[in-house]
Each structure stands twice: as C-alpha cells, then as structure tokens.
Amino acid sequence: MSQPVPMSVPAWLRSAGLVALGGAVGTGARAVLEAAAPAAPGGVPWTTFGINLLGSFVLGVLLESLARRGTDQGRRRVARLLCGSGLLGGFTTYSAFVAETERLLAGGATLTGMGYAVASVVIGVGSAVLGIVVARRAHGGER
C-alpha cells in the first residue's frame, strides 16, 4: 500500500489567503468604527479620514520596520501580507474616500469635498512618511 502524498499549498494561494484573512479583520474593524461614528449629511467624513491617516502611518512604520530587519521573505513576508496588504489594506479605504468625496461634491459641498480630497491625499502621504521616520529613529537611523 502506498503512502499518501502530502499536498502542498502553492505560494500564491498562501499569500492570497494571508491577505484575505487580514483584509477581513481590517474591513470589519473599519465597518464597526464607521457605524459607530457616521458622517453627518454634507459634513466631513472624519471617521474615514482618521482611519486612512492612521492606516497610512502604521503602514509606514510596518514597512520600514520590516525592511530594516531583512529581505521580504519568511516571517517578514507573512507580516507584510497579513498586516500590511491585508489588515491595513482592508482597514483603510480608497473606495469609501472616493464615494464620500463624490457625495460631498454632488450634494453641493464643493469646497468641503475638494478640501477633503486634497487633505486626505496630502496628509495621508505625510502620515506614511512620518511612520517611516518614526520607524527609522526607533531602529537607529539610516539604512
């Protein structure tokens, strides 16, 4: 009688599973926060704004910290896929940002909508850069 051959899961499928698992958790967390503090009609969607800024900052810290520890393999790759692409990718939301910007613009809040869009992108990039700087300092400076 022959021994059963162990089935190995292809690397791409393991990676997709990690992203999906993290994404489910991140999306759930975002949904809970947005349900707890929804945007007022015609008002700035502060919850989404805060989520995206926090997520950008944490992603900057995560990616810089992982890069300082070595190449993107093994546990570092698992952390990047699960926490970076998955959890933070699900937690932050470009689609809600765009939908909320469109809602503001279509509702006649042109300045608020434009301000929200510009501030989200500019401050979001700034938050990611700040996260990178914080991680660099925590790990002893330049790479």
Per-residue confidence (pLDDT) for residue 5, from 0 to 100: 64
Per-residue confidence (pLDDT) for residue 140, from 0 to 100: 83
Per-residue confidence (pLDDT) for residue 132, from 0 to 100: 96
> Which residues, 6 or more positions from 107, have their beta carbon under 8 angstroms from its beta carbon?
41, 42
Could you give the CA distance from residue 4 to residue 1 in angstroms, rounded to a whole number?
9
| DSSP-H helix ranges across 8-139 | 11-36, 46-69, 75-79, 89-91, 94-106, 110-138
pLDDT along the chain (143 residues), means of 10: 71 93 97 94 92 96 95 94 96 91 94 95 96 93 63
pTM score, two decimals? Answer: 0.87
